[in-house]
Structures are given as C-alpha cells and as structure tokens.
A and B are shown apart, each in its own frame.
Chain A
Amino acid sequence: AQSVTQPDIHITVSEGASLELRCNYSYGATPYLFWYVQSPGQGLQLLLKYFSGDTLVQGIKGFEAEFKRSQSSFNLRKPSVHWSDAAEYFCAVGAGGTSYGKLTFGQGTILTVHP
C-alpha cells in the first residue's frame, strides 16, 4: 500500500522568500505524484503532477516540484512567495495500473506568509 509523509505541519515564510515543502512517499513501483492546494473552506486545486519523463515539473502559480526516486521525495518549491500563497498544501501519491486510481494524501502543510 502506498503512503505519503509531509514532515512539516506548519511553515511560516516572509513574502518574497523562497519556499520548499517536503513530501516523502512509499510505493513499490513508479508512482503518480501530485501537489494540491486548499484555501480555507474550499475544495482542493491541482498545482502539478508527475507520472513519467522529466523529473522537474512545472505547475500553476509559479510552483515546481522535483521527483527524486532515490530519496522517495517530491518536494514542492517556489522561488518567491506571495501573500496569496497562504493556504494548506497536500502531497498525494497514486497507484498506477488500477482502474480506480486511488490517491493517498499526506496530512498537509499549512503555509503562513508574513508581509
């Protein structure tokens, strides 16, 4: 069974600073990997995804993530954070090759942005 760990429950950064949110996964084969963002009281929005090819993937809102198989990681990065990036971020891993495409989510990382 797949699993996801987001080691940081809460991260605070200053506006304009760089950001890295950590994600470690456990899965026996090549996983599908995703990052989602959730604003309070809202659904989740897909930021980016990886399932093959270039290990550095670009997403919306200036985010990128790098798949590192040797470290079982898929960390999310942004070079300069904006106040509007304050939200909760979820990493997810999917099991390829099944009909239902089950995603397992991490516990989330809450991002606070100071002006």
Chain B
Amino acid sequence: SQTIHQWPATLVQPVGSPLSLECTVEGTSNPNLYWYRQAAGRGLQLLFYSVGIGQISSEVPQNLSASRPQDRQFILSSKKLLLSDSGFYLCAWSVWGGRDGYTFGSGTRLTVV
C-alpha cells in the first residue's frame, strides 16, 4: 500500500534562518506531489505542485521554493524565513489527474520566532 511520510512534525526556527521540509512517498511511482500551507481560519493554500522529477510549478509568489530531486521525494525550502512563513505545512500525493483525490501527510507545524 502507499504511504506518505513528512518530517519533522514540529519546527521552531528563528527569523532569517533556512528551512528544509521533506516529504517522501512509498508504494507508488510517478506520483503528483503537492505542498500546501494551512493558516488558521484560512483553509488550504496550494504552494507548489510537481508532476515529475525536476518539474515544479508555483501557485503563489513567496519566500519559499520546492524541489523534486527523486521521483518520490518532494522538498520545501527557504533561504531566509520570515515571520509570515509560520503555519501548518502539508505534503500530499495523487495519481495522474487527481481523480482519486489526494493523500496527505501528517503535516509540519512551523513556528518562526
């Protein structure tokens, strides 16, 4: 069966520090991968999606970047964190076309102080 792993679960980082969040999927190949951010009372905002290795699309301009160095690995990064980067970050995967919906990871709570 397919599983998705996301880590770390919580992270407290100072303003201006770098960020790296990792997400890996097991049990499937060539998944579509997604990074979402969830702010309290604001639903889920799609940050990045990827349909293949090295293929990244950004939905909103921001201080973050994403990379997909391997088929089942998706990384969210920042060179210098801002206070506004705080939030709950969720990684998800789907099959091509997304018809079966997404499977989400357990999320990372990021607090920038």
Count A-side interface residues using an 8 Å CB cutoff: 28
Count B-side interface residues using an 8 Å CB cutoff.
Answer: 28
Task: List residues of chain B with CB within 8 A of the CB of A106.
Answer: 43
Contact present for A43 and B99 (CB under 8 Å): no
CB proximity to A under 8 Å, residues B16-31: none
Chain B residue numbers with a CB within 8 Å of A46 are 101-103
> Are A44 and B104 in contact (CB-based, < 8 A)?
yes
Choose from A32, A44, A51, A100 the contact partner of B51 (Cβ within 8 Å): A100
- Give Cα A96–Cα B106 distance, bound, in whole angstroms: 26
Do A49 and B101 touch across chains, with their CB atoms under 8 A apart?
Answer: yes
**Residues on the B chain within 8 Å of A104, using CB:** 46
List CB contacts (< 8 Å) of A1-42 with chain B: 9, 32, 34, 36, 41-42
- In the complex, the answer to whether A49 meets B96 with C-beta atoms within 8 Å is no
Compute how far the CA of A54 lies from the CA of B25 in the bound complex, rounded to whole angstroms.
Answer: 32
Give per-residue flags for A40-62: 1 if the beta carbon is below 8 A from chain B beta carbons, else 0.
01111110010100000000000
Residue from B41, B102, B105, B106 within 8 A of A103 (CB atoms): B102
A105 to B44, CA, bound (A): 6
Q: Give Cα A101–Cα B95 distance, bound, in whole angstroms.
A: 8
Instruction: Report how far A42 CA is from B38 CA in the complex, Å.
Output: 11
List of B residues within 8 angstroms of A92 by Cβ: 101
Q: Judging by beta carbons under 8 Å apart, are B98 and A103 in contact? A: yes
Which residues does A use to contact B, with CB under 8 Å? 9, 32, 34, 36, 41-46, 49, 51, 90, 92, 94, 96-108
CB-based closest 7 A-B pairs = A101-B98, A43-B104, A107-B43, A105-B44, A44-B104, A43-B106, A101-B97
**CB<8 Å pairs between A and B, sample of 24:** A32-B99, A36-B104, A41-B88, A43-B6, A44-B44, A44-B102, A46-B103, A49-B100, A94-B99, A97-B97, A99-B32, A99-B51, A99-B96, A100-B57, A100-B98, A101-B94, A101-B96, A102-B46, A103-B46, A103-B101, A103-B102, A107-B42, A107-B43, A108-B43
